[in-house]
Amino acid sequence: MDSQLLNKAREYELEKEKLIGKEDRPAFHMTPRVGWMNDPNGFCFYKGEYHMFYQYYPYKSVWGPMHWGHAVSKDLLHWEYLPAALAPDMPYDSFGCYSGNSITYKDGRHLIIYTSVVKNKIDENTEEEFQQQSVAIGDGREYKKAAENPVITTDMIPEGYSTVDFRDPKIWKGKDGIYRVIIGAKDQNGLGHLLLYVSDDCITWKYKKVFLKNDGNFGTMWECPDFFEFEGKAVVIVSPIGMVETDFEYPDGNGTVCFVGTYDEETDTFTVENHQAVDYGADFYAPESADAPDGRHIIIGWAQNWATINEHSEDDSFFGQMSLPREISIKNNRLYQLPVKEIEECRYDKVEYKNISLSDEEVSLDGVRGRFLDMELEISANDATEFVVSLAKNKENKTDFIYKPKESLVMVDRSMSGALNERFHQRCAKISSKDGHLKVRIIMDRNSIEIFIEDGRSVLTTAITTDLDAEDICFKADGSAIMNVTKYSL
């Protein structure tokens, strides 16, 4: 198949990426080859490499007709760009190739399933839109859309669901050899449900049942579902639109929710036992997860937020970054996440301090500064009511990490980071520690701060656009506190 649109995108990205210097990008967070990027798509380990596709508009750094960008990596931290994998070049996906997922097909080829979107003009003032699911099969480099596309059409949606909000398939193969997809769909009340379809060959699909329902407590539409079984539990992750703030667990707006429970394959029944935010920071959305060949399960999200996408110029050479990939574990029905162990290979220049006493005088420590680092803090709050680390700091700017031991609360405040959007400056998370001791790991790259609390029990991801010369790090406590610091450059 020779696609003019795909060739055009490939020529464009090859030419324009030359204008982006290595120093303009984060050191170990994935960014688009050129132009705009949102959700991770089709994240998987296939034929000896991790593959990452992404929602991609190469021609400007704003959302546009969605293509799929493509990159591969051996270590999840350094990505090699490949030519764009999909362009919106068919009548059934001319409005965009939206998010989806991938799997090793039964014959060893690589199969992508994605939402193909089409908008038809009915008359001067009316358009109709269809979101349907299509597949493309390939070898890890080139992908060919199936002649049978779209393979899950709007007439296969059960009654009462919208044909305009039916997207983001997550695919897996059951132990019984049957392929399954769950797809986000909006019911008459505007709530997102996950619909389950089954197939023997990924081409002919049959609707089976509602896999999981939004009971009204989790926003409206559910985007980008993920599903996996790990460490004896089953996990469903969704990214709801329109969450309403609840007791420090979920902030307003687009968010992420992780349901931990059990799954019975015979009846395709998922039973929820617990739920939590996947990330408590301002910038984490639409995560996908994949099995690593060594048995780990890795999750990665878009480290941006829809509410703040208009704060850059559309002529910037690129926009968008992924989070650090994280290894998950499940303890007491809770999702834990830690940076992938590969990051340890990137560490150099260890600096260590023990028993540093803090008070309300701001302290900086020799060798503890920079914008590319991995830093662990062990804090003993003593009688302090607040402990603050100011990061990416210079005279004008800073982003604060705040620990309030008496309230068992942590907070990230980037209102001074140079960001514009009022609503998105502060994010909180409840912690489990009640005794004033807290372990915190902070990973900073060019445009992000990711904070892992209590060995990954909660994570806060924050994108920052602060100038790179804001490299200072300062500590203080309101009262007396003691801390140990171990810091590496990355």
Which positions are catalytic?
39
Q: How many residues bind ligand FRU (CB under 6 A)?
A: 13
- Closer residue to ligand FRU (CB): 164 or 474: 164
Does residue 66 interact with ligand FRU by CB under 6 A? Answer: yes
Does residue 93 interact with ligand FRU by CB under 6 A? Answer: no
- Closer residue to ligand FRU (CB): 164 or 272: 164
SS (H, E, C) the chain: CCCHHHHHHHHHHHHHHHHCCHHHCCCCCCCCCCEEEEEEEEEEEECCEEEEEEEEECCCCCCCCEEEEEEEECCCCCEEEEEEEECCCCCCCCCEEEEEEEEECCCCCEEEEEEEEEEEEEECCEEEEEEEEEEEEECCCCEEECCCCCCECHHHCCCCCCCCCEEEEEEEECCCCCEEEEEEEECCCCCEEEEEEEECCCCCEEEEEEEEECCCCCCCCEEEEEEEEECCEEEEEEEECCECCECCCECCECCCEEEEEEEECCCCEEEEEEEEECCCCCCCEEEEEEECCCCCEEEEEECCCHHHCCCCCCCCCEECCECCCEEEEEECCEEEEEECHHHHHHCEEEEEEEEEEECCCCECCCCCCCCCEEEEEEEECCCCCEEEEEEEECCCCCEEEEEEHHHCEEEEECCCCCCCCHHHCEEEEECCCCCCEEEEEEEEECCEEEEEEHHHCEEEEEECCCCCCCCEEEEEEECCEEEEEEEEEC
Question: Smallest distance, Å, CB 167 to ligand FRU?
Answer: 5
Q: Which of the residues 133 through 162 are near ligand FRU (CB under 6 A)?
A: none
Tokens of 91: 């009548």
CB 246 within 8 A of CB 232: no
Question: Smallest distance, Å, CB 70 to ligand FRU?
Answer: 16
- Closer residue to ligand FRU (CB): 58 or 370: 58
Q: Which of the residues 211 through 250 are near ligand FRU (CB under 6 A)?
A: 223-224
Question: Smallest distance, Å, CB 285 to ligand FRU?
Answer: 6
* x/- track of binding to ligand FRU for residues 18-37 (CB under 6 A): --------------------
Question: Smallest distance, Å, CB 460 to ligand FRU?
Answer: 20
Tokens of 443: 């990973």
Question: Smallest distance, Å, CB 254 to ligand FRU?
Answer: 8
Q: Which of the residues 449 through 468 are near ligand FRU (CB under 6 A)?
A: none
Tokens of 306: 């829809």
- Closer residue to ligand FRU (CB): 39 or 93: 39
- Closer residue to ligand FRU (CB): 181 or 224: 224
First vs last C-alpha separation in the chain: 43
Does residue 165 interact with ligand FRU by CB under 6 A? Answer: no
**The one-letter amino acid at 96:** G
Question: Smallest distance, Å, CB 94 to ligand FRU?
Answer: 15
Question: Smallest distance, Å, CB 24 to ligand FRU?
Answer: 24
C-alpha closest to that of 373 among 106, 131, 27, 30: 27
Judged by CB under 6 A, the residue of 53, 98, 227, 387 near ligand FRU is: 98
Question: Smallest distance, Å, CB 252 to ligand FRU?
Answer: 17
Does residue 99 interact with ligand FRU by CB under 6 A? Answer: yes
- Closer residue to ligand FRU (CB): 86 or 470: 86
Judged by CB under 6 A, the residue of 55, 199, 214, 458 near ligand FRU is: 55
Judged by CB under 6 A, the residue of 13, 39, 187, 413 near ligand FRU is: 39
CB 394 within 8 A of CB 471: yes
Question: Smallest distance, Å, CB 150 to ligand FRU?
Answer: 14
- Closer residue to ligand FRU (CB): 28 or 36: 36
Q: What does the alpha-carbon distance between residue 140 and residue 111 come to, in Å, rounded to a whole number?
A: 9
C-alpha closest to that of 297 among 238, 234, 347: 234
Does residue 168 interact with ligand FRU by CB under 6 A? Answer: yes
Q: Which of the residues 287 through 346 are near ligand FRU (CB under 6 A)?
A: none
- Closer residue to ligand FRU (CB): 136 or 224: 224
Find the residue with minimal CB distance to ligand FRU.
98
Does residue 115 interact with ligand FRU by CB under 6 A? Answer: yes
Cα dist from 252 to 21, 184, 288, 426, 452, whole Å: 36, 20, 22, 12, 21
- Closer residue to ligand FRU (CB): 13 or 168: 168
Does residue 417 interact with ligand FRU by CB under 6 A? Answer: no
* x/- track of binding to ligand FRU for residues 267-286 (CB under 6 A): ------------------xx
- Footprint of ligand FRU on this chain (CB under 6 A)? 38-39, 55, 66, 98-99, 115, 167-168, 223-224, 285-286
